[in-house]
Homo-oligomer: A and B are copies of this chain.
Amino acid sequence: MSRAFNFCAGPAALPEPVLAQAQADLMDWQGKGLSVMEMSHRSDEFVSIAQRAERTLRELMGISDDYAVLFMQGGASTQFATIPLNLLGGHDCADYVNTGIWSKKAIAEAKRYTRVNVVASTEADNFTRCPDQSELKLNPEAGYVHYTPNETIGGLEYDYIPDVGDVPLVADLSSTILSRPQDINRFGLIYAGAQKNIGPAGLTLVLVRRDLMGRTRPELPTMMDYSVADKHDSMYNTPPTFAWYLAGLVFDWVQQQGGVQAMGELNRRKAERLYGAIDSSDFYGNPIQPRFRSWMNVPFTLADERLNSAFLAGAEERGLLSLQGHRSVGGMRASIYNAMPEAGVEALVAYMETFEKEKA
């Protein structure tokens, strides 16, 4: 068996020790005679797995008891509706910042439930940057302010947390959760699909400040109600137990690596190495303003697009997988989440240099 370097944007590579543990446990967890995925979610064994995962995440991210940590389903796309339906009771509008494809999806779904104020957009700059704080035309009466700290497709990442006064700040942290230290207390609500930095697809983490609960719209499905999930420890019905268990193993692994501080240092080095290689050559390009380049998702183009297929084929031969850019933008994209080791980035850079020498 030879493990490849997998640059997929999501579902993404998982840490090898996590997969090895899951493989060892698969048919018989700790000698109990059954798989984690066969356990009752109400058994002592699974409840201890679930609680441990939450506890470790709270430690890693510095999450206080003011916040509920919810293990939900449906991905970030389900949250696009869940958020307005939970937070807008008593408010008739919400503020949204538009920085690309994922912002737009969040805005489109929110518009089905409320008036949306697009308080800043960098579309005129072709989404090559995030707005500055001074550009945000915030509305004090908004139910919340939503933004997308990292645009997975565009490869754009804020280098600051917006100051939105007393209005709750809501953030899609799918790609950047656990990737560096973040001050959770600045947020009213954070959500993240698991399939990038947390675990397998099918699990969605929601951190919500408890004072924001109870602002629900009447049409909210019970299963999407944060206060119901909180009251039942995310077990109002059967949760995705195996994904939850894997998330716990990933949290343990992050802790063993030194936590989010160490992750941030590693991710900075990886990103600098890869952007450095792109910038040092006219053969490759990345259009994002350096200040706003994502540490997690690195899109790049070949000056000669006719070489794209040859680049991808050669990469795959060397075990560098899933480098094709999103179908909506083309080009290349290397997603280098926590689980991507520096050796993977080095292998990619070495291949890029070789390919350029052969073809330039």
Contacts and interface: CB of A to CB of B under 8 A. Distances in A.
A319 interface: yes
Contact of A201 (B19, B77, B238): B238
Interface of A is mostly: loop
Contacts of A41: 11, 201
Please provide the 7 A-B residue pairs with the shortest distance between their CB atoms, ordered closest to farther: A202-B240, A4-B33, A81-B221, A77-B237, A37-B200, A73-B73, A23-B26
Interface string A6-23: 101111111010011011
Contacts of A75: 73, 223, 237-238
A202 B242 contact: yes
A139 to B, nearest CB: 24
A321 interface: yes
A35 interface: yes
Interface in A170-221: 193, 195, 200-203, 218-219, 221
A66 interface: no
B3 A33 contact: yes
List the number of copies, as a whole number.
2
Contact of A223 (B34, B81, B218): B81
A222 interface: yes
A239 interface: yes
Contacts of A113: 219
Interface of A: 1-4, 6, 8-14, 16, 19-20, 22-23, 26-28, 31-35, 37-43, 73-78, 80-82, 85, 109, 112-113, 193, 195, 200-203, 218-219, 221-224, 236-243, 246, 319, 321-322, 327
A39 B11 contact: yes
A329 to B, nearest CB: 14
Contacts of A10: 40, 238
